[in-house]
Amino acid sequence: MAIKVQVRPNESLEAALRRFKRQCNYGGIFRLAKAYNWHEKRSDRRRRERRERIRTILKSARRARRRAARS
């Protein structure tokens, strides 16, 4: 997964770098780099992945409730 950012006309380098960092963050690049930086025990990985799944499920449920309330 390669992330590319083209500097727009009249855009500062700092602004382009901020966009690049944001895209890396949204794409999960920093999280993956952090994960491969050290060894994680299998039980810890399972626990972390379970927490992430629960967080995703709760987030989608909140979004569904918000969408249902709007219509």
DSSP per-residue letters across 4-50 = --PPPTT--HHHHHHHHHHHHHHHTHHHHHHHTTS---HHHHHHHHH
Residues 69 and 49 in one domain: yes
CA distance 24 to 15: 14
46 plus 30 within the same structural domain: no
With a cut of 80, say whether residue 31 has pLDDT above it. yes
Report the pLDDT value the prediction gives residue 8, as an integer from 0 to 100.
92
- Asked whether residue 48 falls in the same domain as residue 33, the answer is no
Q: Are residues 32 and 58 in the same domain?
A: no
Does the pLDDT value for residue 44 go beyond 70?
yes
Q: What dihedral angle (degrees, nearest 10) is formed by the CA atoms of 36, 38, 41, 42?
A: 10
How many domains does the chain fold into?
Answer: 2
Same domain, 24 and 48: no
- Domain span at 17: 11-40
The pLDDT confidence band at residue 33, using thresholds 50, 70 and 90, is confident
DSSP state of 71: -
pLDDT of residue 1: 61
Q: For residue 60, name the pLDDT band (cuts at 50, 70, 90).
A: very high
Is pLDDT larger for residue 62 or for residue 38?
Answer: 62
Within a domain: residue 27?
A: yes
Same domain, 16 and 34: yes
